[in-house]
A and B are shown apart, each in its own frame.
Chain A
């Protein structure tokens, strides 16, 4: 029994220490992001490459998933709304469900699966190969050159791709509104515009930025914890991705609490 309590205590302390480290690292990154000297020609080149790999390369797959998944979900939601006689709340439900909840969540899951794992492995490999030390030897700040572009890319990618998901899902809603409610495009568009709340969009934007920040920051931090041994790379990736998933859930819960206030 004592041993169990000790284990729980140790786990809690480790989790608290990890959480504290992540927040401290986040503040360091955010502080550097707003310094002009961070933005060298080399850093901008990395940023452009990162945006290409994260946002542009995924576009075909992301567009297909947005249309298919968004359409299916919209269709199901519309059917439920009709059956429950809640047609007057159509706009609010769509904006609340798609823009505030679904778009950021689906986007961040896709980007986390694809880009966070890649960033995690990349930083871990660079650590093991002593490439991070090489950059330091040549007086190249790894935070400015490696980490900031990836974090900024994460924020930009989640925001833009989430907006794209929202647009595609709401557009596919036009078809279902015609079929299920017999609603014309004009009426559907008016319903959406009248239901669009500035607060929803702000919450969605903050949520996307927070998602983007932590799904890149956590893998970077995890990659840095790799040792000199090659076998530490998969361990670092494993821990990093678990931490990313926990962060996604936490941010989602916090945003739901904020919305309900």
Chain B
């Protein structure tokens, strides 16, 4: 948890630079690729790094979307997604990284219509077999949303 934007951005920047190899970033500063369908955004990581075929990668992306019962968004593009759908797609994309270290950068800016961390927690639970660790970077004034009584750094 951070007091201001400058401190958060600096810490996040340092952290991502030191953990680039297995970083799965979910942030408004790492948007979905706008000219790719949802399934391609998710599958791209595996297709590029592990050379999975288009068919296999698509199957994998659809399998993970089905966990959220969101397979209907597979052929949509970024502009057509709701905030929650966009968050899920960004989460799945991040989870596709091998031994993913998922970093959530100010998640409530991505899903402004969510009041607390239940949606985020439930979303992470559905794919808890796909990533190694999850860290959240956010502001101290959001501590209530996370149910944190005494906010600490990180």
Contact = CB atoms under 8 A, between A and B. Distances in A.
A130 B29 contact: yes
Interface residues of A, number: 19
B48 A42 contact: yes
Interface stretch (B16-24, B69-77, B112-120): B16-24
Contact of A134 (B21, B33, B49): B33
Nearest to B25: A137
Interface in A24-50: 40-43, 45
Contact of A42 (B16, B32, B44): B44
Nearest to B97: A138
B21 A41 contact: no
Given A40-B47, A45-B47, A131 B31 contact: yes
A239 B32 CA distance: 27
Interface in A117-175: 122, 125-126, 129-131, 133-135, 137-140, 145
A140 B34 CA distance: 16
Contacts of A122: 35
Contact of A41 (B16, B52, B97): B52
Nearest to A132: B33
**Which of the four size classes fits the interface of chain B?**
20 to 34
B30 interface: yes
Contacts of A126: 33-34
Most chain B CB within a 10 A radius of its CB, from A41, A43, A134? A41
B33 A135 contact: yes
B123 interface: no
Nearest to B48: A42
B66 interface: no
A129 B47 CA distance: 23
B148 to A, nearest CB: 27
B60 interface: no
A71 B33 CA distance: 44
B30 A41 contact: no
B40 to A, nearest CB: 8
A45 B21 contact: no
Given A139-B21, A145-B48, A129 B16 contact: no
B77 to A, nearest CB: 12
A198 B109 CA distance: 63
A42 B31 contact: no
A50 to B, nearest CB: 12
Given A41-B52, A41-B54, A139-B49, A130 B44 contact: no
Contacts of B54: 41, 45
22 contacts: A40-B47, A41-B47, A41-B48, A41-B52, A41-B53, A41-B57, A42-B47, A43-B48, A45-B54, A125-B34, A126-B34, A129-B31, A130-B29, A130-B31, A131-B34, A135-B33, A137-B23, A138-B24, A138-B44, A138-B93, A138-B97, A140-B45
Interface of A: 40-43, 45, 122, 125-126, 129-131, 133-135, 137-140, 145
